[in-house]
Amino acid sequence: MNKNYKQIIIIYYCIIFYFQIVCAYYKKKPILTKDEVLKLTDAKPIKYYCKNNLCTYVEDYELFPFAIFLDENNKETSYIIETCTYDNAILGNCHNITKKLEGKYYSTICTENSNCLSERCVNGYCVFNDLNPVICCVTVYTPKFLSGEPESHMHCGKALHEPCHSSSECSSELCGTDGFCFFDPFIPSDSDGAITMPLLIIAILFIPIAIFIIICCCIIRWYRYKRIKTNTLCNS
């Protein structure tokens, strides 16, 4: 069998496997209220996209920009997360993304406002809506003093690429200089604390010892200088 053909088959099965994992995540994660999302304490990065007061888990927005809500009867309602500016929508310069999940196709092309999480469809594209911005709840990390493991908390606000005036508006608490919300790419690893803490302990122990040695050296040099000066005066 041709080597390139084998590689194509492997890539194909990898893609299928990935979307099976994504689908499993959607089924595993329940629909939560915004208050319930804010109470989550999972240290790993979490992203929930919200519609009114209900929020659904989204594994990777950039690979699958759709929010899928399942009711108690497992009936699905999906919304397009992807948004762009009004001007780009009029010019047709927005992204047209089509994804397949469990045999069903999802497209970022909208036909009515209700297709969009922003509730605004213009020229077949979901656009920013100041009256109803796309709301997302994400894990925000805060560096912790004397610890390699940062503190984390959930915060709800405007989603990725939504227009913003201040960081407090954004779910990530990060508003870029270009006026759009962005996500911090930092993801803590299990080894962060294991590496940082020993280094901090070594530094805490080493610094006082180093200072003590420097002081001792200065005292010794001062005594030597004083003794040499005294001997010089006596000899003269």
Q: 3-state class of 170 per DSSP?
A: strand
Claim: this prediction has a pTM higher than 0.95 = no
The long-range contacts involving 129-132, CB below 8 angstroms and separated by at least 24 positions, are: 129/83, 130/163
Looking at residue 205, its amino acid is L
Q: Where are the domains of the chain?
A: 29-188, 190-236
pLDDT tens for each residue of 45-102: 788 999 988 999 998 888 889 999 987 777 889 999 999 999 999 999 998 989 888 7
Q: 19-33, 73-87, 98-112, 113-127: which has the minimum mean pLDDT?
A: 19-33
What tokens appear for 174 in the block?
């990060």
Instruction: For residue range 173-210, list pLDDT tens digits in order.
Output: 999 999 999 987 766 665 554 455 555 556 666 677 77
Quick one: pLDDT at residue 203?
A: 60
Tokens of 89: 């929508």
